[in-house]
Structure 1
């Protein structure tokens, strides 16, 4: 009986924890409370990050193709894919540090998550735009 009670308690705790992690639906066009604004800023960043990941995959594929073409000209020319990955890793470090710094404007306050998420979304959209330029034909 004791084992059953422990298992029941564990299952209930797991269900409550999972429900607590789900974000409530918020009308982001009419967000008023700080919690709602934080949630909306987080969702905005999530969308920007999904777009970035999609474009990044396309950019990696384009750089692989470029490396293949360049390798046919001279074995010393390829390296675009590695350069892109190196740049992306460096950019992630910059983005994270810059947005952590942006949060200090409201450090410890309820507005800090919104500031950080807003910064993440803005820088991520800018990076997505930069990566899209890699996909455009030269000279356009």
Structure 2
């Protein structure tokens, strides 16, 4: 789910939206089909299974990011929470637009969704690492 902020929306509502929707992307709106549970992503069979495994990998990374984000938010004061919330909203936009740009030339092709999810997965893991460093810094104090 992509979160768009409107001008004039209060910071309270921006933070509330982030808390409700987390850091998910528009790409995660695709349903998890029952067949996905039957796929062996160590040895996917065919392009459709490969694309499904790439999507599932990104969705797992996104869940991990949300967990770390929630843990970090629980360690912060009000102003810090507000700053992190704003930073995270900005990062989501940056990630989504960067990945759209990165895979732009493959739009319309059968691999587009897979390429997009690979980019989203990579950037999400990077962001999770950044947030984990902040979290570890707070925990070592």
Query: Shared fold by TM > 0.5?
Result: yes
RMSD: 2.1
**Max Rg structure:** 1
> What is the TM-score with the length of structure 2 in the denominator?
0.69
What is the aligned partner in structure 2 of residue 22 from structure 1? 33
Q: Map Cα deviations across residues 73-126 of structure 1 (whole Å, 9 max, x no partner).
A: xxxxxx211110010000000011111122223211111111000111110111
User: Do the aligned partners of residues 38 and 88 (structure 1) sit closer, same or farther apart at CA in structure 2, a change above 3 Å counting?
Assistant: same
What is the aligned partner in structure 1 of residue 3 from structure 2? none
What is the aligned partner in structure 1 of residue 131 from structure 2? 131
Say yes or no: does 1:49 pair with 2:62.
yes
Q: Which runs of 5+ in 2 are unaligned?
A: 1-30
1:33-112, aligned counterparts within 5 Å?
33-64=46-77, 79-112=79-112
Kindly indicate which of the two structures has a greater share of residues assigned to helix. 1
- Number of aligned residues: 108
User: Do the aligned partners of residues 33 and 105 (structure 1) sit closer, same or farther apart at CA in structure 2, a change above 3 Å counting?
Assistant: farther
User: Could you tell me how far apart the structure 2 residues matched to 1:54 and 1:106 are?
Assistant: 32
User: Runs of 4 or more off by more than 4 Å in structure 1?
Assistant: none
Q: Which runs of 5+ in 1 are unaligned?
A: 1-19, 68-78
Structure 1 position 23, deviation (Å): 4.6
